[in-house]
Amino acid sequence: MRDKNIMRPNNRTLFLRYFLPWQIYRFIVINIKMLKMMSRGH
């Protein structure tokens, strides 16, 4: 069905996915990126 040579998240990545300060920062960054993308489409 699929090979086993698959990229997997390391512990740091798994931790950061839910680490509050980092995620607040990413929330802001992603919103800015979305707005940037939307400004091109609107």
Partner 1 sequence: MSVVDIIVLGAGVSGHTAAMYAKRYLGQDANVIVISPEEQYNWIPSNIWVGVGQMNAEDVLIPLAPVYEKHDVTFYQGRAQELYPEGRTLNSKPSIVYESTEISTLGEKREIHYDFLINATGPKLNFGATPGLGPGGFSVSVCKASHATEAALQLASLIKEMKQGIKKTLLVGMGHGTCTCEGAAFEYVFNVDTELRRQGVRENAELIYITNEAELGDFGVDGIQLDVGGFITPSKMMADSLFFEKQIKVFLGAHPERLEKNKLFYTDLSGKRGEIDFDFAMLLPPFKGNRLKTLNQLGEDITEKLFTPADFMRVDADYSPKIYADWRPEDWPRHYQSPYYKNVFAIGIAFAPPHQISKPQKNPEGILITPAPPRTGMPSAMMGRVVAENIAYQVKTGKMGRKTASMSDMGAACIASIGTGYKKGAAVSITMCPIVPDYLKYPETGRNINVTFGEVGRSGHWIKKMLHYLFIYKAKGYPFWWIIPE
* Minimum CB distance to partner 1, residue 32 (Å): 11
Q: Which residues, at least 6 apart from 17, have a Cβ–Cβ distance to it below 8 Å?
A: 9, 23
The radius of gyration computed from the CA coordinates of the chain, to the nearest angstrom, equals: 15
Residues 1-42 within binding reach of partner 1 (CB under 8 A)? 1-2, 6-9, 16-18, 20, 22-24, 26-27, 30-31, 33-34, 36-38, 40-42
Contact between 4 and 10 (Cβ < 8 Å)? no
Chain contacts with partner 1 (rule: CB under 8 A)? 1-2, 6-9, 16-18, 20, 22-24, 26-27, 30-31, 33-34, 36-38, 40-42
